Amino acid sequence: MRLRILGENNDSRGSQLEALTERILNCLGYENIIKNRISHGGHEIDVEARLPQPSIAESSVTRLICECKAHNAPIGINDWLKFLGKLFTEKTTSTEPVSGLLVALSGINGNVAGHYDAIKKHRTDIQIVTGDKLVAVINKFYNLRSVSNIIREIQESTHKSLTEIDLAYYSKEFFYVITFTDNCYTLIPSNPNIADDLKDKFNQLISLDKNLGTYINLAKEREAQTRHQYLKKAIITALLMSNGKGNIIQLLNLWNKISNDQLDAMDITTAIDELTANGIIYRCNNSIITLSAITDRSGKCRAAMFRELTTGTILLASLGLPYYDTFIDESLLEFISELHGIMPFPKEEQQIFISILRWSPTALFASVTPRQKSKTLSDNPRSFSEPKLDRFKFSVFRQELIDRFIADYHQPQLAEYFHRTRGIREIETSRSLTLKSPEGKLFEFDLQDRIGIGEADESLGGGFIHIRLVDHAPQPWETWNKESNQDGTKTNTN
């Protein structure tokens, strides 16, 4: 990773590198740090510091003189020899041990490298530090965001292809400079609480590098990407409402009747093109589009369609549509088993899991999304026979789908969907908890939990809420209503 030192001009960039060097030396335990001291013969010492050397007897101090070069090109032999001249003068006139450090932001050329290698064989008190080594030191002493964190934010915000990540410094703050393949770049602060005026200053200074291309606002990119994902979901949902096929204008009119977000043909052109390229829809002609899953029952098109619908924010309008449910059947279960390399769903459980996948969007997403094969068991293949291993893998997958369904049921934003659309009013779970040690069972007991969904009174704000029910509360098929929680039940709006 390259380190960029920003400034209004070359002198300003040099001052910033000196300030950064001062901060790093302070972290390393140096004391009495002085910048820009004029020494013998009128030469200037960019940064000077003293490092105490503790001893059982009398302590000593080693002086360090630093030359900071924020040049865009590698340091040449003339600058190197000037630095050695300053160091020789300080060593000759000082009563204390003196060491030298050349901070070369853009590195050194071949002549300097050869001369430095020859000196290092005889001296250990002269060092050169380049920009990449500074980055390593900075990461050690400053709580910067990790590169993996930065990459994840970029991937969540834009589809642009990343080419390089640099670290930029100015006025005690760090920014990541991200460049993309289409001659553009963006900035991400390492400190999310950085002041707006300093953000603006970073933008102004980094724009002086014309090689970076055009600046893009990552927040606006994220907003555009979110909008694009929404449009694709809206198109698929409108098609599901129309039995999988429709005129684009009619689909728009249908969507605009049920949504506050009014769309037009220009809005959805790019989204339709991408859905077509991904094989989720196909064009019958310029105005008619159709879901590919209608004609391709292999499972691939349905999986792609459901991944699109259940990735990120889910449109509630799509859940529970009769045509949505028709694509989740025994043949999709067979595709899911092959996709994840698990044994087929037992016939007696197929209808149960078809229902779970219809009800739970996150269970459906997990089912149709490929994942890396777990290596946990394959490390010791002899510990399981193949049939036992197959049953174990299926059991883990089966449990994940059930857990995701239960988690969806507990989501406040899905409460009305489960209550009204799916008619699911309560989930009751029974568990046996056993704690074990090398000596045996510590204790065990049974747990039971009943969570219902009810319509809250207007005095509570209305809407649908989750209710923790006491054991003797009426069953949903018995006579009970939203007042039943007066008999000891606990209202939970979380």
Across residues 121-150, what is the average pLDDT? Answer: 90
Q: Is the pLDDT of residue 491 over 50?
A: no
Evaluate whether 416 touches 432 at the Cβ level (below 8 Å).
Answer: no
What per-residue confidence (pLDDT) applies to 436?
A: 94
What per-residue confidence (pLDDT) applies to 437?
A: 94
Name the pairing type of β-strands 440-455 and 464-468.
Answer: antiparallel
**Range of lowest pLDDT (246-260, 417-431, 442-456):** 246-260
Name the pairing type of β-strands 173-180 and 162-170.
Answer: antiparallel
pLDDT tens, residue by residue, 258-306 = 777 777 777 788 899 999 999 999 998 888 999 999 987 788 999 999 9
What per-residue confidence (pLDDT) applies to 383?
A: 52
pLDDT tens, residue by residue, 199-209 = 899 989 998 88
Which of 312, 319, 291 has the alpha carbon at shortest distance from 303?
A: 291
Q: Is the pLDDT of residue 490 over 50?
A: no
Q: Which amino acid is at 376?
A: T
Q: Which residues of 418-439 are buried (b: 16+ CB within 10 A; e: fewer)?
A: bbeebebebbeeeeeeeeeeee
What per-residue confidence (pLDDT) applies to 370?
A: 92
What distance in Å separates the CA atoms of residue 226 and residue 314, rounded to the nearest whole number? 12
What per-residue confidence (pLDDT) applies to 328?
A: 95
Which of 134, 59, 43 has the alpha carbon at shortest distance from 97?
A: 59
4-13, 248-257, 457-466, range with greatest mean pLDDT: 4-13
Token pair belonging to 337: 């088993």
Distances 137 to 16, 134, 147, 302 between C-alpha atoms, Å: 16, 5, 15, 50
Q: What percent of the chain has pLDDT over 70?
A: 93
Q: What's the whole-model pTM score? A: 0.71
Across residues 435-457, what is the average pLDDT? Answer: 92
Three-state DSSP at 481 gives coil
According to DSSP, the residues that pair with 45 across neighbouring strands are 37
pLDDT tens, residue by residue, 87-118 = 999 889 888 899 999 999 999 999 999 999 99
pLDDT tens, residue by residue, 370-420 = 987 655 544 455 555 678 888 999 999 999 999 999 999 999 999 999 999
Q: Is the pLDDT of residue 481 over 70?
A: no
Q: Which domains does the chain have, with CATH numbers?
A: 3-138 (3.40.1350.10), 143-216 (3.10.450), 418-492 (no CATH)
| Other beta carbons within 10 Å of 461 | 9
What per-residue confidence (pLDDT) applies to 388?
A: 85
Name the pairing type of β-strands 60-69 and 98-104.
Answer: parallel
Evaluate whether 326 touches 354 at the Cβ level (below 8 Å).
Answer: no
What distance in Å separates the CA atoms of residue 56 and residue 388, rounded to the nearest whole number? 67
Evaluate whether 451 touches 409 at the Cβ level (below 8 Å).
Answer: yes
